[in-house]
A and B are shown apart, each in its own frame.
Chain A
């Protein structure tokens, strides 16, 4: 299979990329890892006239914490960069748990975190992770930069709030107010499959007490679900059994799974509750240590 014809641009600066996007009047697409866009172009679901390949722009392949604790992921940070960072688990446990379960190892060498967020696949894992972490997308256009919270960024399946002339330059996570803890669990039928159900939990702890919490659900609704009520019920609490059970129930209640080839509705709800319980229960020793 081969895509319909396009002209190819390989800018070497963000400014140049934005200029090319602006000139294209909405007929251009950004090419990052290409692991979603190229298959879509081959199937002719996408037929951009101009492809703006950002892979030659230096300085976008980073992931790091600022001195104030803001965590930043550049537009060319690939899934594998996070998977192979042995220090990530201590800094960003939810991200570290998610990176190795995205797609398969070969897709992970090319695919990017920011590209996944932009692609806005309702089944995508990073959207749940970033929602749980309260993350944002930084978009740059001809008039400068703006920051869009990940929870607002996606406005429909495969749709986001970017203007045609904007490039998503990075994703950011706000500084923690406590010690970070959390995890990501994904049930998949085989490696490389999208989630039957996935659960992202991000916590910030002060001693035993949860001071901030976020829970994002993958694959159990028309789009990523922020389980806000489940997260709220954790705040101000220690993670005892009844608190965990309440959060698991609330997350399961807010999910909207459909029965399909991956499993029945009831099964997927059950998985959500089980995963919330599992992630929160496995954090307990760390919480105790912190006191």
Chain B
């Protein structure tokens, strides 16, 4: 595993007080010792090796670093790892189950919702938060929910289609579940 302090000059890290924290990442309990100034994004990438979370602008503008913090989208470049103590984090690696992709991932695949893919993890997590709260969004609502995530490649059209497709397939899943129950 890479060093926790890889992103920081080693000499300042030596006598720095570290704090212990316990955080649930993608359903798995992790206990770590970190310097308070370690950003959540760096904890996720360097300490936990979950490099699906991307750091784009590093200035709170682009949303590439978006993760879910207790279910709500946050910019992980703009929180400290210590703030996650006792909380639940979902990264893009937590979307798929062992056997299948999340409908949002299927949507991005089927609608060609990515080109370079740099913005995609953040896009999918914002979409996840939206669909959890509003399973049947309008196109406007999708655009609104994704408006904090920037994409330099796609022009957004296919991203929006991907999320709408995911919403549709979630509706189908729900409908067939309901049928299953009434039988």
Contact = CB atoms under 8 A, between A and B. Distances in A.
Interface string B78-106: 11101101000000000000000000000
A192 B62 CA distance: 10
A104 B58 contact: no
A106 B66 contact: yes
B83 A55 contact: yes
B35 to A, nearest CB: 8
Interface in A1-46: 1-8, 10, 34-35, 38-39, 42-43
Query: Interface range on chain B: under 10, 10 to 19, 20 to 34, or 35 or more?
Result: 35 or more
A7 B78 contact: no
A110 B36 CA distance: 19
B74 A8 contact: no
Contacts, number: 83
Contacts of B77: 42
A7 B36 contact: yes
A43 B59 CA distance: 9
B173 interface: no
Interface residues of A, number: 28
Contacts of B10: none
Nearest to B66: A106
A8 B19 contact: yes
A3 B60 contact: no
Interface stretch (B25-33, B107-115, B140-148, B164-172): B140-148
Contact of A2 (B8, B59, B83, B145): B8
A4 B37 contact: yes
Interface in B58-82: 58-61, 63, 66, 69, 72-75, 77-80, 82
Interface of A: 1-8, 10, 34-35, 38-39, 42-43, 51, 53, 55, 80, 103-107, 109-110, 191-192
21 contacts: A1-B58, A2-B7, A2-B8, A2-B38, A2-B42, A4-B37, A5-B36, A34-B78, A38-B78, A39-B60, A42-B58, A42-B77, A53-B83, A80-B72, A103-B148, A105-B73, A105-B148, A106-B66, A106-B73, A110-B79, A191-B147
